[in-house]
Structures are given as C-alpha cells and as structure tokens.
Amino acid sequence: MIDKISPKFKMQLLLEIENAIWNEYKTYKRVRQYMEQWIEEYDWNNQNFVIITKGDTNEIDLTQTLTHIDDETVLQIAADIGVNTPDFIPAVSEIYNIFKVNYQTAGETFKQALNQCYEHPDNAISLANSALESIVKHILKDSKFENFDKTKTLYEQAIDILKQFQLYPEKEMPTEVKTIGSSLLAVSRAIEQLRSEKTRSHGKLTEDRIIDNPLYASFIINSVATVGIFLISYYNKKFNIEEPQSVSNENELPF
C-alpha cells in the first residue's frame, strides 16, 4: 500500500495523465476502452472505480473518472501511459524526514538523485551511492566507534558499520541475522559496482554500457532509501540516539 498522494500533487498528476491518454487514444471510444482495462471487479456491484459519462451520453468524462480513482491505480496508470512520477518513490517520505534533521548532506545528495532520475539515470545512481556513503560516514564518525576511515569505499564502510552493529555475517550467527548482514553487503557492493562500471563517474569509452533506463535509477534510489532507513533506525535504537522528529513541508514532497 502506497502513502496517500497530496491533493496538490495529485491534481497536477491527473492533468498530465489525462493529456497523455487523449494524445495516445484520440477518440472517446478508445479512451473509454483503455480506462475499462483498469477496472477491477471485487464481487457483485463492487469495483475499484466506475466510468463516469457526460450527461446522458455514452462519452467518457475522463476528468471525473480519473478524479475518483484510488491513488495506487493512478500511479499505475501514470507508469503505463508514460507520465513520470520521479518524486513518488516508496520510502522517500520517511527518509526525507530523517535527512532534514541530522543528515543534511545525505539529504541534499539524495534530492539531487531524485531530480536526475529520469533525465540522467546514470548520474542519479552515482548520487544515490554518494547519499548512502554520507549516511554510513555520519554514523561511523560517532565517537563510540574506532578507526573511522572516511577514504574507504561504500562496500568497505558497509563492512565496518555491520561489524560495529554486530551484524557482520559470521558462521555462528542465526541464519536470519546472517542473511540481513549478507544482504546489506550485497546491496552496497552492487550499488558501488554500478556507479563504477555503468555510469560516467570514472570516465567511459564509447562502447561501454551506461545505464540510461530510469527504472534502474528508481530502483537504486529506493534501495538506498530502504537501506538508509534501516541503518539509521538500527543505530538510533542500539545506541539510544534520540529519534528525529517528523518534518512536514508540502512544497518539497508530493505526499
């Protein structure tokens, strides 16, 4: 289940979706046929939305139909019809609230990653890598920890932070705990390798493959947000760090 989209953001999104649908299908008949594909029947006389028509005609009132559709279906339609929603990525809302209080550097980098997600996916991935590095460095510089080395790579820092958290995978650990540690290491290594090998961060030849699909960038950004939330929350709980208070700013987030 997604977070509720703010009315301001949803109104703009619905307008873009409506324009995209008309541009694609042109006629009332074809627009209605397209929208009917999104109707889900739950049981008798119960479905996720209905087609609203203009007066006594059979012509679809697309504006009113879209207005009464649930947020999750709206986002699915947007993705299908090619309307970008770069700011609406799961976990973004929660981690933005954390960033605004104690992790401003990571927050600025993360915001840049979001802004570049669709136009420059490879840059977005590089920035997401940097945002996660900033989170890890912020935690590791705590005086409770020893031998903090800010020159290490993301993967090396991930090893250090898991050891400090006592989550670094060891043979005698319970399988579930070991899996968590191994997964975090795998994610850190994969993000680091993508940045080094599939973006322009270190210079590339013409024949080298550069990631140009926003889908991959969105996935990486969401992964960074999820891992970041876990690391920060675990750190706060394990070492009795005061939890940051939620900060709301409707001009910055669409939900």
The 3-state DSSP class for residue 69 equals coil
Query: Which of 91-95, 136-140, 162-166, 232-236 is predicted with the least confidence, judged by mean pLDDT?
Result: 91-95
pLDDT tens for 198-237 read 887 655 545 556 778 887 888 888 888 888 888 998 998 8
The residues near 223 (Cβ < 8 Å, ≥ 6 apart) are 128, 187, 191
Indicate the SS3 state at residue 71.
helix
| pLDDT above 80 for 173 | yes
For residue 65, the model assigns a pLDDT of: 97
Rounded average pLDDT over 164-170: 90
Mean pLDDT, range 30-50, rounded to an integer: 90
pLDDT in tens, 72-112: 788 878 878 878 775 565 556 567 667 766 788 888 888 88
Looking at residue 5, its pLDDT comes to: 73
pLDDT of residue 240 exceeding 80: no
On average, the pLDDT of the chain sits at 82
Which pLDDT does position 17 carry in this prediction? 95
Supply the DSSP string of 136-203, one letter for each residue.
HHHHHTSTTS----TTS-HHHHHHHHHHHTT-S--TTS-HHHHHHHHHHHHHHHHHHHHHHHSSSTT-
- The CATH T-level fold of domain 92-238 is Four Helix Bundle (Hemerythrin (Met), subunit A) (1.20.120)
**pLDDT average, residue stretch 37-41:** 91
* % of the chain at pLDDT higher than 70: 84
127 close to 112: Cβ distance less than 8 angstroms: yes
Between CA 77 and CA 74 the distance in angstroms is 5
* Encoded tokens for 14: 């619905």
Amino acid at site 150: K
Angstrom distances, CA of residue 191 to CA of 1, 25, 158: 26, 39, 12
- Highest-confidence segment of 15-29, 44-58, 102-116, 147-161: 15-29
What's the rounded mean pLDDT across residues 20-24? Answer: 96
Domain ranges within the chain, ordered by starting residue: 7-81, 92-238
